[in-house]
């Protein structure tokens, strides 16, 4: 089992922190990780009882952890369902969170639920937390109660280029093309297909690709807002700064990457970028900021690995 929110981190590793007794909060991520996606919302509505049962089992591994379901306040029906399955003697609670992106990001969620901050060098366990996605909890339930390994996942198929938007239970390995056909196919005039969400997902050149554990969605759009506009110069409006959840200054970071000055990128906190895409989305100059930060982070890691292989700390 791996994290089904998109990152695919092995769940067994997550549930084996060195300080298991010190973990005081088990956060169940009930926030959708991206706009357009509704898969976690549906799974909480339809599999709430199974999710709560799985959480009780996880609490046996983390004996001092209170389980807190972090659910956005636009999902009142899922809040009601989960609440209905929590018994009075369960060490569980629901934390209603403001609906905003990227509320489902691990760092944002830990901060919203506990007020504790972690950075890129820390693990959630350093903040005495473990975070599990609601779909992952359902996979744990299947493994423990039904003896079913992770051989299928749930996916959202949506966007204005899809004939019948829906959520599906999909066997792993099934072609994306087959999933799209189950939605009545894609409409004529689709110009962009994305695997994952619109903010952090990646463009697909064709659908003849197998569904993997991390394939959360297929989005099909008839207009590509970003590609249709050429990037222009920064007008120093500061909008990117105002939306950054990591409190970075994206326009300054972008300059360091454009100049290949990766040490300056690191000094300015570039490694704390969670690649949420908010800065690129809001930028009126259409500068591909997030893409630049992906490059910057990859270059810093490359240099650090090079230094490690030379034995330099």
Binders of ligand SF4 among 103-162, rule CB under 6 A?
none
CA 86 to chain centre: 25
Question: How far is it, in rounded angstroms, from Cα 213 to Cα 172?
Answer: 7
Q: From the CB of 241, what's the least distance to ligand SF4, in Å?
A: 7
Residue 60 backbone dihedrals phi, psi, to 5 degrees: -70, -30
Q: From the CB of 291, what's the least distance to ligand SF4, in Å?
A: 10
257 binds ligand SF4 (CB under 6 A): no
Q: From the CB of 189, what's the least distance to ligand SF4, in Å?
A: 30
Q: From the CB of 36, what's the least distance to ligand SF4, in Å?
A: 18
Which of 8, 187, 284, 306 forms a contact with ligand SF4 (CB under 6 A)?
A: 284
Which residue in this structure is represented by tokens 């084996």? 16
CB–CB of 83/76 below 8 Å?
A: no
Output 121 or 236, the one with its CB closest to ligand SF4.
236
Binding residues with ligand SF4: total (CB under 6 A): 29
- Which are the contacts of 89, defined by CB distance < 8 A and separation ≥ 6? none
CB–CB of 29/135 below 8 Å?
A: no
What is the DSSP pairing of strand 152-158 with strand 166-171?
Answer: antiparallel
Which of 210, 223, 238, 305 forms a contact with ligand SF4 (CB under 6 A)?
A: 238
- Which are the contacts of 237, defined by CB distance < 8 A and separation ≥ 6? 284
Which of 137, 155, 248, 257 forms a contact with ligand SF4 (CB under 6 A)?
A: 248
Question: How far is it, in rounded angstroms, from Cα 18 to Cα 202?
Answer: 34
Which of 293, 296, 297, 299 forms a contact with ligand SF4 (CB under 6 A)?
A: 293
Output 8 or 284, the one with its CB closest to ligand SF4.
284
The site for ligand SF4 (CB under 6 A) is made up of 234-240, 243-246, 248, 250-251, 273-279, 282-285, 287, 289-290, 293
């Amino acid at each position: 089992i791996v994290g089904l929110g998109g990152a695919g981190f092995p769940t067994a590793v997550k549930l084996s922190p060195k300080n298991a007794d010190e973990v005081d909060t088990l956060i169940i991520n009930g926030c959708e990780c991206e706009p357009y996606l509704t898969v976690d919302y549906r799974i909480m509505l339809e599999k709430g009882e199974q999710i709560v049962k799985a959480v009780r089992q996880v609490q046996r591994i983390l004996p001092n952890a209170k389980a807190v379901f972090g659910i956005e306040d636009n999902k009142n029906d899922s809040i009601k369902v989960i609440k209905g399955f929590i018994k009075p003697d369960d060490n569980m609670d629901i934390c209603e969170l403001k609906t905003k992106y990227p509320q489902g990001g691990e760092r944002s969620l830990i901060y919203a639920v506990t007020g504790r901050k972690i950075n890129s060098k820390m693990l959630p366990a350093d903040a005495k937390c473990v975070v599990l996605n609601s779909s992952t909890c359902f996979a744990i339930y299947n493994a423990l109660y039904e003896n079913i390994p992770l051989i299928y996942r749930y996916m959202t198929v949506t966007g204005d280029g899809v004939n019948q938007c829906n959520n599906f239970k999909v066997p792993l390995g099934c072609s994306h093309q087959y999933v799209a056909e189950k939605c009545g196919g894609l409409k004529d005039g689709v110009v962009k297909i994305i695997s994952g969400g619109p903010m952090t997902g990646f463009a697909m050149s064709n659908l003849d690709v197998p569904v993997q554990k991390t394939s959360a969605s297929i989005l099909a759009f008839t207009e590509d807002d970003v590609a249709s506009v050429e990037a222009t110069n920064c007008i120093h409006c500061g909008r990117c700064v105002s939306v950054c959840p990591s409190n970075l200054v994206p326009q300054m970071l972008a300059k360091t990457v454009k100049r290949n000055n990766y040490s300056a990128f690191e000094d300015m906190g570039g490694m704390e970028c969670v690649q949420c895409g908010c800065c690129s989305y809001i930028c009126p100059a259409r500068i591909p900021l997030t893409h630049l930060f992906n490059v910057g982070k990859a270059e810093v890691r490359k240099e650090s690995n090079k230094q490690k292989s030379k034995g330099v700390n």
